[in-house]
Structure 1
Amino acid sequence: MSPRRAPPPSASEMTPVPPPDAAVARFRDDLARVTAAAFDGATTPAQVRIALAVSGGADSMAMLALAAAAHPGRVVAATFDHRLRAGSSDEAAMVARAGAALAVPHRTLAPIDAIAGSSIQMRARVARYAALVDWAAAEGAAVLLTAHHGDDQAETLLMRLNRGAGLSGLAAIRPWRFDGGVAVLRPLLGWRRAQLREVAQAAQMPFVDDPSNDDPRHDRTRMRALLAAAPALDPVRLAASAAWLAEAEAVLARLAERLWKERWRGPDRPFAVAQEERELRRRLVRRAIIAVRESAAIVLPAFDDSTNVEPLLDALEAGRGAVQGGVKVSPAPAGWRFSVAPPRRSV
């Protein structure tokens, strides 16, 4: 199935039309707000470039038009061609032509190795962000903007709720995060999908509709259909709830970081966190296991900061030791001790 294109004009025929002034002002304010949050109140210098990840969909093409109008001369754009379906190179070329019409330099990126295997969407995401962040850094951009919006946020929150996610997962799409020295910003989380489509159309920007967005095999597609069929569920309010959850997550993350710095003294030394709330213990136990694994170069079994550690916490609360991720955790009066687990005896 080929992508569905928006009505004329085509990319080759387009003449840039500035987006509505109100939309440009709103975008400028939203970008300034998320930038200040990411950089502790600071703003990026006026000469620093602003990098955009532009896929060719209506959302990202609207962002391209808004950014070019709000910060002329500072914007660069890139499209990551996953090379997973026919026509993707044509879409990247469409974005390049639109960028040229707006005086925005554009580059098409592609994976070094073919994206294949299980969890292909996850692999595609990892490859995409790695390439985009490297490109942004090479361009001298302090920030990389993506076009995630309020509907995306609401859909993500519902998907995470349906999977029984914890607080970190329910924070959903974060307004900003750092990847290396580049801040990945989402200034459009307060915008609706329909609003961005209107901006793209008003600016006479070409765009494509990805047919995978209608594929019922994807969780996101099903959540999108649920929202469409339940008008009582307001995506803006759901997105606002995700923002509140993200604030709570940030508070807990800072507290866990403080406890870590105060009390972690290295492997096989008492880690006095048994009296903390379970959520803090959960975070600190994971971090301790990861620290021991890194120091001992343990790679198997798999373990990361989202691994389920509930049985381990239950055992420690009951005064029993346990092994997880190749790390032995033992309770003691002065605190829990973490050490490399001895190899299993063969039968």
Structure 2
Amino acid sequence: MQLCLSRPTIRCKSMNMSAQTNTAAANPSPYDAIAAHFQNDMMEVNRLIIDHMDSSVPLVKQVATYLIAAGGKRIRPLLTIAFSDLAGSVNDNAYKLGAAVEFIHTATLLHDDVVDESAQRRGKASANQNFGNKTPILVGDFLFSRSFQLMVGTNNIEALRILSDAAAIIAEGEVLQLSVHGKLDIERDTHLKVLEGKTAALFAAACESGALVGDAGNETQQAARNFGLHMGLCFQIIDDLIDYNETKESSGKNQGDDFFEGKITLPVFIAYENGSDEEKTFWENVFRKETRDAEDFDKAYTLIQKHDALNKTYEIAKEYHASAQKQLSSFANSATNKMLQALLDFTLNRHF
């Protein structure tokens, strides 16, 4: 896949939503296909989510509902359900773990937005913009507690271990990200460790826990975990690539958002590693600044083009895609297996 390397337009007009909707209806995405296949199961997961958001403190439910009702694809609980089915059968424990996974994800979003001082989440003002910093942090803690209640409800200590380990990795990843913020001279493995905590750890736990309660053996349970881990890394790397390669019309996000927010992602690391001393000085200076402007972005994009950083980033994502793909051979060649393969391919080549 040769990536578009045309000179960027920094901000784009809003897309024609009716045209997009008609296209999507005619050509459902692999995500839409697997979501439709497990629609009834996901209704059970959503019922548990709604029930466990309830609180005697109205503000707790208000903040939790504010983010959860804002949308999101529920991809993580969907993976839990899919791997439960792939391993044997979907059951009540799979529903509980799917809801637990979504609560962990939502809690981390609430915490992340406070740490990152984010102004938006899912197309509207972030919870910290509406409720201040203290309340979202505490509601995030509440959702973590609810997730553990759901885990305990499975009476499966191994499921509790899998998801509690993931929660620890996520927290460690956030602290690691803070400790290396603005640093360009770190090892690439360190950056990938941040991505593991940011996205891949919960993908891995979602898949593994689903396989566990679906009655997978040890080898297939590990295969499910590896699938989620590598799919999660592929997902996040492509997300980093989209920030430089796509416009809002094709991806739903403004081009250069990560750059303007001072986030150093894989395309930047690659351009920096291959750059001259003068170019490295530019990168160091631009990420040392409090704010970056359109001229900075044009220069950054030119250097990313020069060192073919987008295609090199895509090649790394392809390696994780291939690693995830291999794991599916451990499971029967069922309809679910084929849908997961299509979803994995979509993750690599997505344009949200």
What TM-score, normalized by structure 1, do the two folds share?
A: 0.27
* Structure ranking higher in strand proportion: 1
What TM-score, normalized by structure 2, do the two folds share?
A: 0.27
